[in-house]
Protein backbone atom coordinates (compact mmCIF):
# COMPACT_ATOMS: atom_id res chain seq x y z
CA UNK A 1 0.00 0.00 0.00
CA UNK A 2 2.66 2.52 1.04
CA UNK A 3 4.91 1.59 -1.87
CA UNK A 4 2.07 2.23 -4.30
CA UNK A 5 1.56 5.71 -2.81
CA UNK A 6 5.22 6.54 -3.48
CA UNK A 7 5.01 5.84 -7.21
CA UNK A 8 4.62 8.34 -10.05
CA UNK A 9 0.87 7.88 -9.80
CA UNK A 10 0.87 10.19 -6.73
CA UNK A 11 3.59 12.79 -7.44
CA UNK A 12 3.37 14.86 -4.26
CA UNK A 13 3.28 11.97 -1.80
CA UNK A 14 7.07 11.61 -1.47
CA UNK A 15 7.47 15.28 -0.61
CA UNK A 16 4.57 15.16 1.84
CA UNK A 17 6.02 12.07 3.52
CA UNK A 18 9.50 13.62 3.62
CA UNK A 19 8.15 16.66 5.42
CA UNK A 20 6.28 14.53 7.94
CA UNK A 21 9.30 12.30 8.61
CA UNK A 22 11.53 15.33 9.10
CA UNK A 23 9.01 16.73 11.62
CA UNK A 24 9.02 13.45 13.56
CA UNK A 25 12.82 13.41 13.61
CA UNK A 26 12.90 16.97 14.94
CA UNK A 27 10.42 16.13 17.71
CA UNK A 28 12.47 13.09 18.76
CA UNK A 29 15.64 15.19 18.89
CA UNK A 30 13.93 17.92 20.93
CA UNK A 31 12.64 15.35 23.42
CA UNK A 32 16.14 13.90 23.76
CA UNK A 33 17.53 17.42 24.21
CA UNK A 34 15.02 18.15 26.98
CA UNK A 35 15.95 14.90 28.72
CA UNK A 36 19.67 15.71 28.42
CA UNK A 37 19.08 19.22 29.77
CA UNK A 38 17.09 17.84 32.70
CA UNK A 39 19.81 15.32 33.52
CA UNK A 40 22.96 17.43 33.05
CA UNK A 41 21.56 20.92 33.79
CA UNK A 42 24.36 22.91 32.14
CA UNK A 43 25.01 26.26 33.80
CA UNK A 44 28.21 27.51 32.17
CA UNK A 45 30.17 27.24 28.93
CA UNK A 46 32.18 24.22 30.08
CA UNK A 47 29.08 22.22 30.95
CA UNK A 48 27.43 23.15 27.62
CA UNK A 49 30.60 22.07 25.83
CA UNK A 50 30.53 18.81 27.77
CA UNK A 51 26.89 18.32 26.77
CA UNK A 52 27.50 18.89 23.06
CA UNK A 53 30.92 17.23 22.72
CA UNK A 54 30.14 13.49 22.23
CA UNK A 55 30.37 12.50 18.58
CA UNK A 56 26.96 10.78 18.63
CA UNK A 57 25.26 13.92 19.98
CA UNK A 58 26.91 16.06 17.31
CA UNK A 59 25.72 13.56 14.72
CA UNK A 60 22.16 13.69 16.09
CA UNK A 61 22.36 17.50 16.03
CA UNK A 62 23.49 17.40 12.42
CA UNK A 63 20.56 15.11 11.55
CA UNK A 64 18.24 17.51 13.39
CA UNK A 65 19.45 20.51 11.40
CA UNK A 66 19.35 18.58 8.11
CA UNK A 67 15.74 17.65 8.93
CA UNK A 68 14.97 21.24 9.88
CA UNK A 69 16.37 22.60 6.62
CA UNK A 70 14.61 19.93 4.56
CA UNK A 71 11.35 20.73 6.32
CA UNK A 72 11.88 24.45 5.77
CA UNK A 73 12.79 23.95 2.11
CA UNK A 74 9.61 22.00 1.42
CA UNK A 75 7.45 24.48 3.34
CA UNK A 76 8.89 27.55 1.66
CA UNK A 77 8.63 25.85 -1.72
CA UNK A 78 4.91 25.26 -1.17
CA UNK A 79 4.37 28.84 0.01
CA UNK A 80 6.12 30.16 -3.10
CA UNK A 81 4.01 27.90 -5.32
CA UNK A 82 0.83 29.15 -3.66
CA UNK A 83 1.53 32.88 -3.38
CA UNK A 84 4.23 33.92 -5.89
CA UNK A 85 2.62 33.81 -9.32
CA UNK A 86 5.45 35.30 -11.36
CA UNK A 87 7.52 32.28 -12.41
CA UNK A 88 10.81 34.18 -12.72
CA UNK A 89 10.43 35.77 -9.30
CA UNK A 90 9.47 32.41 -7.81
CA UNK A 91 12.55 30.79 -9.34
CA UNK A 92 14.84 33.54 -8.05
CA UNK A 93 13.34 33.33 -4.57
CA UNK A 94 13.58 29.54 -4.54
CA UNK A 95 17.23 29.56 -5.63
CA UNK A 96 17.98 32.18 -2.97
CA UNK A 97 16.37 30.03 -0.29
CA UNK A 98 18.18 26.94 -1.57
CA UNK A 99 21.57 28.66 -1.43
CA UNK A 100 20.89 30.04 2.05
CA UNK A 101 19.79 26.68 3.43
CA UNK A 102 22.87 24.96 2.02
CA UNK A 103 25.08 27.71 3.47
CA UNK A 104 23.35 27.34 6.85
CA UNK A 105 23.91 23.57 6.79
CA UNK A 106 27.60 24.13 6.04
CA UNK A 107 27.74 26.63 8.89
CA UNK A 108 26.17 24.09 11.26
CA UNK A 109 28.79 21.53 10.18
CA UNK A 110 31.56 24.03 10.88
CA UNK A 111 30.14 24.77 14.34
CA UNK A 112 29.43 21.15 15.31
CA UNK A 113 32.66 19.63 14.02
CA UNK A 114 34.89 22.64 14.79
CA UNK A 115 36.22 22.81 11.23
* H/E run at residue 107: helix 87-113
DSSP state of 3: H
CA-to-CA dists, residue 8 to 4, 27, 61, angstroms: 9, 29, 33
Q: Are 80 and 95 in contact (CB under 8 A)?
A: no
Give the residue ranges of the annotated binding site.
71, 83
Give the residue ranges of the annotated binding site for heme.
71
Q: Are 104 and 69 in contact (CB under 8 A)?
A: yes
Give the residue ranges of the annotated binding site for a ubiquinone.
83
Amino acid sequence: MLIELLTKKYPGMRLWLTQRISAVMMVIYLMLMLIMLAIKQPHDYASWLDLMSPWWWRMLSLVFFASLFTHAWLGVRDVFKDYVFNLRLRAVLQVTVDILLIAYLCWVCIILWKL
